[in-house]
Amino acid sequence: MRRIATEEAFVIPEVLGPMLDRAASEAYDPDLFFWSKAADGSPLQRRLLDLGDERLQIMDETGVDVQLISLASTGVQMFGADEGTALATLANDVLADAIAKHPTRYAGLASFAPQDPARAAKEIERAMTRLGYNGVIVNSHTNGDYLDQPEYWPILEACEATGAPLYIHPRAPSPQMIAPYSAYTLEHAIFGFQAETALHALRLIVGGLFDRFPKLTVVLGHGGEGLHYWLPRLDGMHANFKAPEGKRPQLQMAPSDYIRRNFAITTSGMNWAPAVRFAIDAVGVEKIMFAIDYPFVDSAKSVAEMDAIEISAAEKAAIYHRNAERIFRIAPAN
């Protein structure tokens, strides 16, 4: 069965170098801490920088036919607007070259710098219409800002206009919410990542962004960041706890309706049978895509876990490749 992995990372030296320098010289920052794990000489750094032989060898050894590749978190969002914009363009050009060399093995999610929404929108348009990307990625908040804020709407408009699925990838919680997490080092993937990213997604929903951009598709990794476990409660509490006049817009549908209509989820780091089976029941198998989170998660383990899940062959084919082919417009195998 064809396997498409939909949340797989790379980095360019021009992004990695400054992040490592900052991690070595600045006070503790949870986002810089993650970069420090890719220190010089580490297997993680080597695999992030590689878009050639080793990546392809691991894909071959583990039965992964296609990787949907994106710039590792936090991407360019910790740079100034000018530098971040330039680095996003460079990273997109580098990945586009790699995809052109391996068109049947690689697909891509383009980076952009939300720090400058107008230029971000232009880069999304360039990536989707000229470079042939399959979608775009943002690493949740940018300097504590979220995409539901009006100044960032040009980004969502560009995604909808170009048909670009928007993958919201985690980073550590925003400055406004991190303190209770950092007391026990909960700000990373143990809990902070999913709490922050689910919050971002929910802000888009209750902020009425899917009424404004009804064709926008948002993708959440790591088992949907847990949001689909809350569907009845989201609907009930949204209806029961009315916001003051003007505090939030009146929605055309219930929150769960937007999750089912406008969202898809991936299994990155969460190829766990109970979670996958629940996701099928909650949002439908047509909304779920296989992912590994390479090179942060072991490819062989992820494939073995997904292979072992007791679901029908049709459901497994949908998760492994058919949904990614449809949602990200990845060409079917010949």
Got the DSSP string for 34-64? HHHTT-TT-HHHHHHH--SHHHHHHHHHHT-
Amino acid at site 205: I
pLDDT, one tens digit per residue, over 225-244 is 999 999 999 999 999 988 88
pLDDT, one tens digit per residue, over 243-274 is 888 789 999 999 999 999 999 999 999 999 99
* Dihedral angle computed from the Cα positions of residues 206, 209, 210 and 215, in that order, rounded to the nearest 10 degrees: -160
Instruction: Give residue 246's pLDDT.
Output: 79
Domains of the chain: 4-327 (3.20.20.140)
**17, 33, 59: which is closest to 300 by C-alpha?**
59
Instruction: Give residue 245's pLDDT.
Output: 80
Phi, psi of 219 (to 5 degrees): -115, 130
pLDDT, one tens digit per residue, over 142-190 is 999 999 999 999 999 999 999 999 999 999 999 999 999 999 999 999 9
> 95 CB contacts (<8 Å, ≥6 apart)?
10, 51, 69, 71, 106, 108, 110
pLDDT band at 334 (very low <50, low <70, confident <90, very high): confident
Sign of CA dihedral 14, 92, 265, 288: negative
pLDDT band at 58 (very low <50, low <70, confident <90, very high): very high
Residue labelled with tokens 């586009």: 96
Token pair for 173: 């919680």
pLDDT, one tens digit per residue, over 4-53 is 999 999 999 999 999 999 999 988 899 998 888 888 889 999 999 999 99
- Helix H or strand E encompassing 107: strand 106-110
- Is residue 217 predicted with pLDDT exceeding 90? yes
pLDDT, one tens digit per residue, over 283-312 is 999 999 999 999 999 999 999 999 999 999
> 268 CB contacts (<8 Å, ≥6 apart)?
6, 7, 221, 222, 291, 292, 293, 297
Q: Which residues are catalytic?
A: 293
